[in-house]
Amino acid sequence: MKIDDLIQEELKDPEFAAAYRDEGELLDTAMALYHARESAGLTQAELAERAATTQATIARIERGDNVSFTKYAQIAHALGKKLKVSFE
């Protein structure tokens, strides 16, 4: 069985589907931060200093860990960006 087939089968379970969706959203956020930081030409440590946080916090977010909305906004502002939330 292919992994895509296995995932499709598992997605029939509502609990699995919710967890899968949540993890996907965290990874989307992680990738968005990573790309914004890279585009700005900043290291994790440099961004952390600008955002008045720690390099470990930036690394955790880029690994897909969750942080507060306030922390995301603080980091966005340090990148010269505005945090935007949408419900799709």
Instruction: Write the pLDDT tens digit of every residue in 37-70.
Output: 999 999 999 999 999 999 999 999 999 998 999 9
3-state secondary structure of 28: helix
Indicate the number of domains in the chain: 1
The reply to whether 87 falls in a domain is: no
Integer CA distances (angstroms), 33 to 10, 23, 29, 38, in order: 29, 15, 6, 8
> Which whole number is the average pLDDT over 3-29?
92
Question: Is a pLDDT exceeding 80 seen at residue 1?
Answer: no
pLDDT exceeds cutoff 90 at 88:
no
CB atoms within 10 A of CB 58: 26
In a domain, 38, yes or no: yes
pLDDT value, residue 33: 96
Q: Is residue 27 part of a domain?
A: yes
Residue 35 resides in a domain? yes
Q: Is residue 88 part of a domain?
A: no
Mean pLDDT of all residues belonging to the chain: 94
- The domain in which residue 16 lies consists of 3-78
